[in-house]
Amino acid sequence: MLKAARCYIHVVDGFNRGLGKIIMWGIFVMAGILLWSSVSKTFFNPSLWTLEVAQFAMVTYYVLGGPYSVQLGSNVRMDLFYAEWSVQKKAWFDAFTVLLLMFYLGVLLYGALNSTAYSLGYFGKEPFAFYWDLITAFVTGGPEAAGEKLGYIERSPTAWRPYLWPVKFVMVFGFFLMLLQALSEFLKDVVVLRGETL
Under DSSP, the state recorded for 154 is P
State pLDDT tens for residues 123-179. 888 899 999 999 999 999 999 999 988 988 999 998 889 999 999 999 999 999 999
Comparing C-alpha atoms, which of 20, 112, 113, 30 is closest to residue 69?
20
pLDDT at residue 76 tops 80: no
- Across the range 44-66, mean pLDDT stands at 91
Identify the three-state secondary structure at position 41.
helix
Q: Residues 165, 154: contact at Cβ < 8 Å?
A: yes
Partners of 155 in beta bridges: 163
103: enclosing H helix or E strand: helix 87-119
30: enclosing H helix or E strand: helix 26-43
Tell whether pTM > 0.85: yes
The residue ranking higher by pLDDT, 1 or 35, is: 35
In the chain, domain spans: 2-77+84-193
Partners of 163 in beta bridges: 155
Q: Residues 26, 65: contact at Cβ < 8 Å?
A: yes
Q: What is the pLDDT of residue 178?
A: 97
120 φ/ψ angles, rounded to the nearest 5 degrees: -95, 5
Residue 36 CA to residue 81 CA, distance in Å, equals 46
* CA distances to 30, 72, 137, 180 from 65, in Å: 14, 11, 33, 13
Q: What is the pLDDT of residue 186?
A: 95
* CA distances to 48, 56, 122, 186 from 39, in Å: 13, 20, 40, 47
